[in-house]
A and B are shown apart, each in its own frame.
Chain A
Amino acid sequence: MRIAKALPTLLFALLIGSCDNRSSVEQANEEGIFVVGNSNEPKGLDPHLVSGVLESNIIGALFEGLAVQDPIKDGDALPGAATSWSANEDFTVWTFKLQPEGKWSDGVPVTAHDFVFSYQRLLHPELPAKYSEMLYFIKGAEDYNKGKNPDPNSIGARAIDDHTLEITLRGPIPFLPEITKHYTWYPVPRHKVLEFGEIATPFTDWTDPGNMVSNGPFQLKSWRLTHHIEVERNPYYWDAKTVSLNGIRFLPIGNPYTESRMFLDGQLHMTYTLPPEMIPYAQEHIPNMLRQEAYVGVRFIRCNTLRKPLDSPLVRRALAIAIDQASLIDNVLQGGQLPATGITPPFGDYKPPAVVTYNPEEARQLLAKAGFPDGKGFPELKLLTNDKDSARRNAEAFQAMWKDNLNINVRIEQREWTTYLELQYTSDYDLADNGWIGDYLDPTTFLEMWSEGNGNNNTNWSSKEYEAKLHLAENTADPAERLRILAEGESILLKDIPVIPIFWYTTNYLLRPEVKGWSPLLLNNHPLKFVRLEATAEQP
């Protein structure tokens, strides 16, 4: 009887709640809220503890580094938390003048001491920060981080006064402002971090709504687990007049198909991704909303060079050039990716050596030279990959290409994400399909990781010659000469080929036409303060 009574009330509530005829984005347009798909629930919002792309999207709205990405031009830096900067002659000492009006979202001024505190925190030997290496450019940073020097003041970051920050580097870096766009270089609010714990206490509540303050164009408004994170305008932001949006709503939509359907139903301004199967549909029906843009990332296959027969560079090269990258891209990925002829994707003035191209005939000859004519006697190898469907499809393509071109058998091993990563870190694999996204626009973001002892190498390969090139580049101030040396280094890496480049990434996503101020950027690090919503007649 009670249910019978409650039913009309429920129906009425349903009607009231749903009688608005406008779609969600139409409402959001009126409110000036940018609604975006953001893949999954972020692990956290502490810039020093997270390492993922989806977290960086939110952190990029909340915080601001010394320099800000230009909304249109890759590699250009606009004033951010710093109004200006200068370097000494050999680019080893940089001085940043901070915004005199720079404030945290609670009105407390942002000072050079906040930056020094942040760098000391990220590098603290007890803070479990995965990205501390990003600060190793600073003199003394590595030694402090690894506990070799216990004095935090040994780090080459100094507050000359409240608004002047001096950074001393371990070697010349002409592109330091470019690096400071990365969230590891953002300041964290010293007064808030210390309110909720010690400098190196991880996972405290300072990032909760109500506690968190930030120095970027937006501040945290609300956060409901697996539902949404919303940011709103930061009233104390020094450049608030440039900010057009009233807020941004990040939705953790784990299922990319649901995300596309929500976009088509008018629930989102932008998707995080677009599944390959949906690309032809989008090309046909909503070409004006489909975005396919270059993205600095590379897909590759790691070889465990301790395992036979992968210890032979001949075998590794044979495997590499037996993969028909173009066919994989056209038939499986369908996202306009580029065949990777090297590890570092092409950008700026860097000319990556083009060493890997599909050549089945040569691959067969190399394999014969390595002692396996027509694949005879070649042991069955295992190809480790993660549990995603797309990873399985790629792996099956490699498997078929190696069978067809080299007559060898490869077994696919799909593992859950954590197991998949752990097997690589412990070198318990033969071949492993993986990818890497660049953190900043310089080849070192792709080349450093293959040096000896780097936690992300995991191939058991190392080369003194290669590291000598990296070291030489690190001490070269002339930008053109530096890039040339790095290209030579990459040639050494590709000659030995401990890692097989497959393709260079693109981002494929959907974006509504009313979103303005959003241009393709190689690092996909769009400065959200320049984004606007303008009414338009176009509909999906």
Chain B
Amino acid sequence: MLRIVFHRLLQTIVVVFVLVSFTFVAVRLVPGNPFVSDKALPEHLQESVYKSFGLNGTWGEQYVIWWRNVLTKGDFGPSTSLFGRSVNEIITQSFPTSLLLGLVAMTIALLIGIPSGVLAALRKNSMIDYGSMIFAMAGICIPGFVLGPLLQLWVARHSNFFNVAGWESPADILLPAITLGVGVAAYVARLTRGGMLDILSQDFIRTARAKGVPTFTILRRHALRPALLPTVTFLGPAFAAIITGSFVVETIFMVPGMGQHFVTAVTSQDYFLLQAIVLFYGLLIGGANFLVDVAQAAMNPRLRDAN
């Protein structure tokens, strides 16, 4: 087990390092520069701007300085698009929001996805099965930029409880979380159904049934845990994606999260912010996958013993 942990950790570090290095070069290769705006900056000032952000050295120097600051001081540098803001400040202000939204969306996804997957498997080829699978298909197919505005128009506009957008009252979290969560719920439902069908046809379940164990107990004690393995594998990357991929939802619902910064950092060529977010997300996705591996080992005795 320890060997696996160590191995995984090393892999994650290498991947993130390569990822950040690639981003470092790629963002500098894009035509344009971070300080270009619709008003021309006089030529004699270009240099002083580059200097004030420490961007006047060679790429190699900038690269070394950036890593040194990150590793020794935890300093990700200044934002070049939001004047006077440090990248650390932007991330610490926005990440908790994205995390909270992600957690609620994930909870919604699991609360909808797992029960409907289990029900669909238990009532295979019934109306419940077809119904929940149609719902799942729709959830996968309808993108956030369609579902979000529909919820705004159909739900928020007709109720006092929900605002169309904003991040003021606790209720404001629900619509964006549903928008984010429905797609994941759909995958979870399909994976759970598949896993469940597989397990329900196994000998040990038949044995349990033959011994007269009630269906619910079979589900709870014997079937659910192995049936959820594929779902758990999916959850790690899905959770990371929910947090990182919420740009559309964040813009539609005006959520002050990190997804917005990820995209605007690219479009405004905010070198330091982009490098930091890529590093951060890289670690997050690596971490999520790592946790999934551990969870799988915990849930599957065969895997655990093999290690």
Contact = CB atoms under 8 A, between A and B. Distances in A.
Given A17-B171, A130-B40, A418 B267 contact: yes
**A-B interface, 6 closest residue pairs, ranked by CB to CB distance from nearest:** A455-B40, A44-B83, A418-B32, A422-B32, A227-B256, A128-B49
B84 A18 contact: no
Interface in A189-224: 201-205, 207-208, 224
Interface in B174-190: 174
Nearest to B169: A17
Given A203-B78, A225-B94, A421-B38, A265 B85 contact: no
Interface string B67-106: 0000000000010011111000010011000000000000
Interface in B224-276: 251-254, 256-257, 260-261, 264, 266-269
A178 interface: no
Given A131-B39, A419-B31, A456-B39, 19 more contacts: A14-B171, A17-B170, A46-B84, A126-B48, A127-B45, A147-B44, A202-B49, A203-B83, A204-B84, A226-B94, A253-B165, A258-B252, A258-B254, A262-B165, A264-B157, A267-B164, A418-B33, A455-B39, A455-B41
Tier of interface size on chain B: 35 or more
A243 B80 CA distance: 36
B109 to A, nearest CB: 14
A43 B164 contact: no
B34 interface: yes
B138 to A, nearest CB: 22
A395 to B, nearest CB: 18
A462 B49 CA distance: 29
A241 B204 CA distance: 83
A281 interface: no
A224 B93 contact: yes
16 contacts: A17-B171, A23-B160, A128-B35, A203-B83, A208-B84, A224-B256, A225-B256, A226-B94, A258-B252, A261-B149, A262-B166, A267-B163, A418-B30, A422-B33, A455-B39, A456-B40
Interface of A: 3, 10, 13-14, 17-18, 21, 23-24, 41, 43-44, 46, 49-52, 125-133, 145-147, 201-205, 207-208, 224-227, 251-255, 257-258, 261-262, 264-265, 267, 387, 416-423, 425, 454-456, 458
A258 B48 CA distance: 39
Contact of B38 (A10, A51, A201): A51
A253 B254 contact: yes
Interface of B: 30-45, 48-49, 52, 78, 81-85, 90, 93-94, 107, 149, 152-153, 156-157, 160-171, 174, 251-254, 256-257, 260-261, 264, 266-269
A101 B30 CA distance: 52
A127 B30 CA distance: 26
Nearest to A226: B256
B42 A418 contact: no
A225 B93 contact: yes
A421 B37 CA distance: 7
A47 to B, nearest CB: 12
Nearest to A201: B52
A403 B40 CA distance: 33
Contact of A18 (B32, B33, B43, B161): B161
Given A125-B44, A226-B256, A455-B40, A416 B32 contact: yes
A454 B40 CA distance: 9
A267 B152 CA distance: 13
Nearest to A23: B160
Nearest to A458: B40
A264 B82 CA distance: 30
Contacts of B48: 126-128
A207 B45 contact: no
A340 to B, nearest CB: 18
A417 B37 CA distance: 9
A534 to B, nearest CB: 24
A193 to B, nearest CB: 12
Contacts of B171: 14, 17-18
Contact of B82 (A14, A225, A254): A225
A145 B41 CA distance: 12
B54 to A, nearest CB: 12
Given A18-B169, A126-B48, A226-B256, A43 B40 contact: no
B172 to A, nearest CB: 8
A297 to B, nearest CB: 12
A43 B36 CA distance: 13
